[in-house]
Structure 1
């Protein structure tokens, strides 16, 4: 499957946030979006998902224009920056609701087994992030969007999630963004940088320094 996002235009209170944005992603690859705070990364992901309406957009799947929000097609799952599992349900119930295998999860994250009956709000923010990222990655979909999956979680869990992303990309499109750029770069097959409201395809990592997203030496 190939997803193309073309000519995205977004303004907030007469301020141009995104202009003429183009992005291409495909099954088997992790496509990443980098940019400084306020560059429009989350806005772009929300536009792709379909819960933010821009001034203009064109979204194509396998060359065909999609005229309704992507989330209404049933082919996409989205990890927002906020917690989406309701506070009052147990963790194991959340897995059942999203039709994700609890046993497979605890086989991967063994220390979480004791949380099966815990209500979501009893876990730390980082623990909830691990669970919600896993649920979105493992839910049935052709396209998965991850907005800051690495933020606020322990380094050991980050490495496990990166391994999961590498496995899941074989069967779905994965779009990802996070300010923890080193993990993004290590996980990516294609990178777009948002700068001055435009998207720039990064063909060489050194370009991130040329565009002044990173200072010289930060990539080491």
Structure 2
């Protein structure tokens, strides 16, 4: 299936989102679509799959003009869209989710569950997944849910599969399995439109890369003829220098000590953190990294061990008590745990600091406005005003809002769990620079990341977890991806 999007325009009110975009997808091609958040990538794909209607322009499929009335029509025509935000029914089983609107019935008109189960297991096995198809899908980790979405797409016999940040929540093993399946389907003339902020994946799996900026397709070239510096310049409209800033840490006194910490999914964890340090945490999904951080922050129950903050034993009561120790936690899932989406930008930023603005029974609104405006400016949060709902912001700006919240609260120990997941290249660079700036001011940072180039470039030391235990420590200045993965998999 050959797809051409010709001179596509789209505006929402006075806001022009697409301004004459052109892109061509060849049969059997993996075509990267890259650009900063807000560049118009998702809007373009929503137009292709019938979720939105273009104001101007043509969609050509195998030389014929088409316009799909809805996503189901596009899927029936052979175009499948795996969205970044998964659209699952959390209380339904994996099997039921995989066959919504495509149920198989027997000759009596009843659901043929045996046949559906056979098909579901077949496509899940292709993805290297052994998930129980009768489990509630909402009970599974995000990574496993993503694998199920991809398997579901393969079931449709799609000729073009659109993937929006498909590896954001996958382990290295799952990513390898995904890429293997992409190559297998590509050999069968299936095409992929691959939307990702991970540059190393673009160069590893794609054939062609199209860059969008501010609603315009600014360049399109074979991936083999592309360079990361040129792609980044095309995306942001300027040179951004070294992608990962150079670190010259000046480590100070010990600010956090974890001794023999154990919980439901980790045991006997020991480490120290110092002023001005970035301590990286690596490990496969389920290794216990996030659970350890949640326990330190008082979210999850600790069954044994001690935590010392500035030399004083912490009783690990609850997050409110931990915040009083000037510890902040940027969670893996910013939308569900890091932000209140129905609140505006100002309300989210000031939330942990609000007690400091009380004057008797009232809040000093002028001081709050000055406080939030200063943080918004300092972190470069892009919004029309501080009264914008935080749900309306791009992923990168939502992440900056969470960082602004903790910086404003006077945090001197900051836990960052997947801080750049789903964040565009320009915003990533800004977050890395901010991390450097914070450590220069003696803030101590724990960086949990599945992005190995990021982890190695930004960490002074790296702790690696395997099946709930720390199995090794590496020097961030000399560590390699191979060394990290060898520890994370115990050589398996």
Does the 8 Å contact 1:3/1:26 carry over to 2? yes
**Which shows bigger deviation, 18-27 or 83-92?**
83-92
> Where do 1:114-129 residues align within 5 Å?
115-129=132-146
Alignment equivalent of 1:83, drawn from 79, 86, 90? 86
Q: Structure 1 residue 103 and structure 2 residue 122: aligned?
A: yes
Please give the alpha-carbon distance, in whole angstroms, between the structure 1 residues aligned to 2:5 and 2:205. 21
Greater relative contact order, per chain length (Cα 8 Å cut-off, separation 6+): 1
What's the CA shift for 1:209? 4.1
Please give the alpha-carbon distance, in whole angstroms, between the structure 2 residues aligned to 1:51 and 1:169. 26
Map of 2:200 onto structure 1: 182
| Structure 2: runs of 5+ lacking an equivalent | 103-115, 245-452, 454-492
Per-residue CA distance 1:27-49 (angstroms, 9 max, x = gap)? 21111100011111111111111
Please give the alpha-carbon distance, in whole angstroms, between the structure 2 residues aligned to 1:107 and 1:134. 8
Query: Which ranges of 4 or more aligned residues in structure 1 deviate by more than 4 Å?
Result: 96-100, 212-220
Map of 1:172 onto structure 2: 190
Q: How many residues in Structure 1 have an aligned counterpart in Structure 2? A: 218
| Structure 1: runs of 5+ lacking an equivalent | none
Q: Structure 1 residue 208 and structure 2 residue 231: aligned?
A: yes
What's the CA shift for 1:183? 1.2
Does the 8 Å contact 2:33/2:210 carry over to 1? yes
Does the 8 Å contact 2:8/2:22 carry over to 1? yes
Map of 1:197 onto structure 2: 215
Please give the alpha-carbon distance, in whole angstroms, between the structure 2 residues aligned to 1:212 and 1:121. 35
Distance change (3 Å), C-alpha of 1:53 and 1:107: closer
Please give the alpha-carbon distance, in whole angstroms, between the structure 1 residues aligned to 2:59 and 2:208. 18
Per-residue CA distance 1:150-178 (angstroms, 9 max, x = gap)? 11222221121111111112332211202
Does the 8 Å contact 1:202/1:208 carry over to 2? no
Map of 2:22 onto structure 1: 22
What's the CA shift for 1:57? 2.8
Normalised by the length of structure 1, the TM-score is: 0.87
What's the CA shift for 1:184? 2.6
Larger radius of gyration: 2
Normalised by the length of structure 2, the TM-score is: 0.41
Does the 8 Å contact 2:5/2:58 carry over to 1? yes
Map of 1:145 onto structure 2: 162
